[in-house]
Amino acid sequence: MKKQKEENKLLELFRPYVPQAVTSRILEGQASLPSERREATVIFLDIKDFTHFAEHLDPEEAIEILNQIFQPIINIIYKYEGSINKFLGDGLMIVFGTPYSRENDPERAFRASLEMMESIQKNGVIKIDNEKIKLKARIGINTGLCISGEIGSPTRKEFTVIGDTVNLASRLQVNAPTGEIMVGERTYQKIKDNFKFTHSRKLKIKGKKDLINVYTLKS
């Protein structure tokens, strides 16, 4: 009993450092997460030009600004029951659909993305040499089959999601106009009845032989 309490206390200490899905499975008594192939919706978010602006800030100030931006974003992700897979410096990789899935994961992901954009507009104001700069983000969303599971060794491992769906979501984020959300074809087909998008346009994506259809929210 005492040992169990100590383990739970230790788990609580580490909870902020690992994806919520992982700690949930551990609390359920599962020692590991099985590798599996399933459909998921992946979001990549990047704060545009933050690295450039950070060169003019003290390191402590840069971290403080990122925390100021990310704290409400994390709350939004949990509100829509997504999972933060990775912090990528001034960006995030977020997953909906694994290890827990819901029928409306693509819609949850898109609604979360809209709120994240609004949050960054509200909280992403920094001051450099008495000049106020409004930070903006780019988001890419893609839905499709992924492989999820643990990678590493018994002494150090990480729950992650890999596959072409993840790679394409990352590429969509890189190609998204600043301040906009770009979605892939499968995500669009899942949520098009609930949101108004621009007409599809063909985009050449690095690593892809054929042009792909992409969509952004109609302003």
153: in domain: yes
Residue 31 confidence (pLDDT): 54
Alpha-carbon Rg for the chain, nearest whole angstrom, is: 18
26: in domain: no
81: in domain: yes
5: in domain: no
- Convert the pLDDT of each residue in 174-208 to its tens digit: 999 999 999 999 999 999 999 999 999 998 988 78
N-terminal to C-terminal alpha carbon distance within the chain? 57
- Convert the pLDDT of each residue in 126-183 to its tens digit: 877 778 888 899 999 999 999 887 777 767 767 778 899 999 999 999 999 999 999 9
Amino acid, res. 95: V
Query: Domain span at residue 157?
Result: 32-216
Q: Which two tokens stand for residue 125?
A: 């104001």
Backbone angles phi, psi at 181, to 5 degrees: -115, 125
CATH of the domain at 37: 3.30.70.1230
CA–CA separation, 75 vs 79, rounded Å?
6
Across the range 103-122, mean pLDDT stands at 95
Predicted confidence band of residue 24 (pLDDT cuts 50, 70, 90): low
Q: Is the pLDDT of residue 3 over 90?
A: no
19: in domain: no
Number of domains in the chain: 1
24: in domain: no
21: in domain: no
169: in domain: yes
Identify the sign of the CA torsion 98, 104, 105, 108.
negative
